[in-house]
Structure 1
Amino acid sequence: MLDVRRLRLLRELARRGTIAGVAEALSYTPSAVSQQLSALERQAGVRLLERTGRSVTLTPAALRLVEHADTVLAVLEQAAAELATARTELTGTLRIGAFPSAMHAILSPALVALSREHPGLELSVIELDPAGAPAALHAQSLDIALVQEYDYVPRTPETGLDTEEFLTETVYLAAPDPSPLPAHRNSTWIAGTPGTLCHIMTQRVCQATGFTPRIRHHADDFDTVLTLVAANQGVAFIPELGLQNVPSSIHLTPLPTRRRTHLAYRRGTADHPVIAAARAALHSAAKDLHKAASTSH
């Protein structure tokens, strides 16, 4: 019988590419990961890893085994979810990952509702870029997370995770004047840290308009970005959730570009009472936010 914990290590190796990466994500030592993977090879009776110096690659047999591992782990998650429905009270830890602009507008009211309705839950919130959420879910350092995509930066499907639609936002051009986007081909731009979705989106939207943005400032907090725009340090793209504190000197131009947020969780956990409660609270907070926005308009 193959060891499930070792299958999980193999799956993480397929995703992260290095034994050191697996060890860091799952709080193992690299030598412990290597030992467990060698034991899995002995159990399987076939070679799973090709070792060349310090690098390793998965054999075709290992890749097939990873596909089975996704299925096995999802079934185990589902079994645990079904057992949890027999409990009369929700207890344990719920770890939620969210991006900064969702923290105040959505996550705060959702946490208040969860604490009130399920006082036995121990809530843990982690702020992170959506690009890092899938890996954190697989590593079980998160239970549910908000992940994103933009029209020009589609999300890469992740095996072993389920997602559901959550929120769609308009993206705005924030500038000192109402000039349309093409007029800013020679402007200075403000974008997120290189590698983040916001940074990639800024580049691709501008390139689709016919120019490459000249990015001078990098900031991930939208309040900081708006402060820089108000100080005439550049122009920027801001999604709706980032427009909580807009200086009066800034002009906002709605664009056809959209940011779409999904809820993500490990496959098999959707109906776990804790995850179901989190999903309900988050959807309720998003619905209330939409109602408030509609009323203000």
Structure 2
Amino acid sequence: MLDLRRLRLLCDLSRLGTIAAVAEAHTYTPSAVSQQLATLEREAGVALLRRTGRRVTFTAAGHVLVQHAGAVFAAMEHTTAALAAVGAGVSGPLRIGAFPTAVRTLLPATLVALGRDHPALELMVTELDPAEVPAALRDRRLDVGLLHDYDVVPVKPDPTLDSVPLLSEPVHLAVPNAGGLGSLADAGDEPWILATAGTLCHTVTLQVCRAAGFVPRARHHADDFATVLALVAAGQGVSVVPALAAAEPPAGVRLLPLDTHRRTRVAYRTGAAAHPAVAAFTSAIQAAADSIGKKP
């Protein structure tokens, strides 16, 4: 019988590439990970890895096991969901991961609705960058999470997760009221407020600006949209901001529409869609998104 925790370590090794990376992801020591993988090989009865010094590569059997592991994990999620569905209503812990804008705008109404309709649910919210959500779901630190991408920079789907569309929101160019800017094309010579290099927001801004024929000149770097809008209002530059983050812009900010959209999805482990708590959350947050007029 294969141990599912060890099988997950093998899949993480395939995804992350090194035992050290797997150890860091699980807060184990590399030695502990190696021991668990050696035990998994004994359980499987075949060699799964080739070891050359500190380097490991997969054998043919190792590749086969990783390819089939997704179906094993999905079957377990289906089983867990089915058992929960015959239990005593919607109850138990529900760990939610969401990016800051969604925590401020979508989650309050969602949590109120869930608390009213399903008082036995234990709701726990973690503010998290969408890039961190897939790993948190796979590691079972979250039960549901919000992911997003942009139509100009699509993110490749994660095969270990299922998701449903939540909303598609327009993206704006935020400019100071005092300036005479009327379009993105006018902003080529303006100072810009950019997100941290390497983040999705930073990449999107570069893509949008390059499509308009220029590279933005950074004056400030900020990742929180409230901070970005405050800097724009102070005349410190211009920035790209999704509509959800600019629902109530501060005085002194003007929003110019761009031909770009941010797309948000509700994600969970493959096979977990029918879990009563997951289904209840998905329904509640879709209602919250609809109520603010940001329908998919």
User: TM class, shorter-chain normalised?
Assistant: over 0.9
Give distance in 2, aligned partners of 1:118 and 1:24. Answer: 36
Q: CA deviation at 1:42?
A: 2.3
Q: CA deviation at 1:74?
A: 0.3
**CA deviation profile, 1:228-260 (whole Å, cap 9, x unmatched):** 111221110010111134122222100110000
**CA deviation profile, 1:83-141 (whole Å, cap 9, x unmatched):** 11111232221111111111121011101111122222211111111111111111111
Alignment of 1:289 onto 2:292: yes
Q: CA deviation at 1:7?
A: 0.9
Q: Please list every run of 5 or more consecutive structure 2 residues that lacks an aligned counterpart in the other structure.
A: none
Q: CA deviation at 1:30?
A: 2.7
Map of 1:16-95 to 2, 5 A cutoff? 16-95=16-95
Structure 1 residues 153 and 59: CA distance shift in structure 2, 3 A: farther
Whether the aligned pair in 1 keeps the contact of 2:234 and 2:252 (CA below 8 Å) is no
2:95 partner SS:
strand
Matched residue, 1:251: 254
Map of 1:1-297 to 2, 5 A cutoff? 1-176=1-176, 177=179, 178-290=181-293
Structure 1 residues 157 and 60: CA distance shift in structure 2, 3 A: farther
More off after superposition, 62-71 vs 10-19: 10-19
Give distance in 2, aligned partners of 1:203 and 1:61. Answer: 43
Structure 1 length as normaliser, TM-score? Answer: 0.93
Q: Once the two structures are aligned, what percentage of the paired residues are identical?
A: 54
Q: Quick one: which amino acid aligns to residue 81 of structure 2? A: A
Structure 2 length as normaliser, TM-score? Answer: 0.93
Whether the aligned pair in 2 keeps the contact of 1:223 and 1:245 (CA below 8 Å) is no
Give distance in 2, aligned partners of 1:183 and 1:63. Answer: 53
Give distance in 2, aligned partners of 1:89 and 1:222. Answer: 38
Whether the aligned pair in 1 keeps the contact of 2:114 and 2:281 (CA below 8 Å) is yes
Give distance in 1, aligned partners of 2:84 and 2:75. Answer: 14
Q: CA deviation at 1:52?
A: 4.1
Q: Quick one: which amino acid aligns to residue 272 of structure 1? A: H
Q: Please list every run of 5 or more consecutive structure 1 residues that lacks an aligned counterpart in the other structure.
A: none
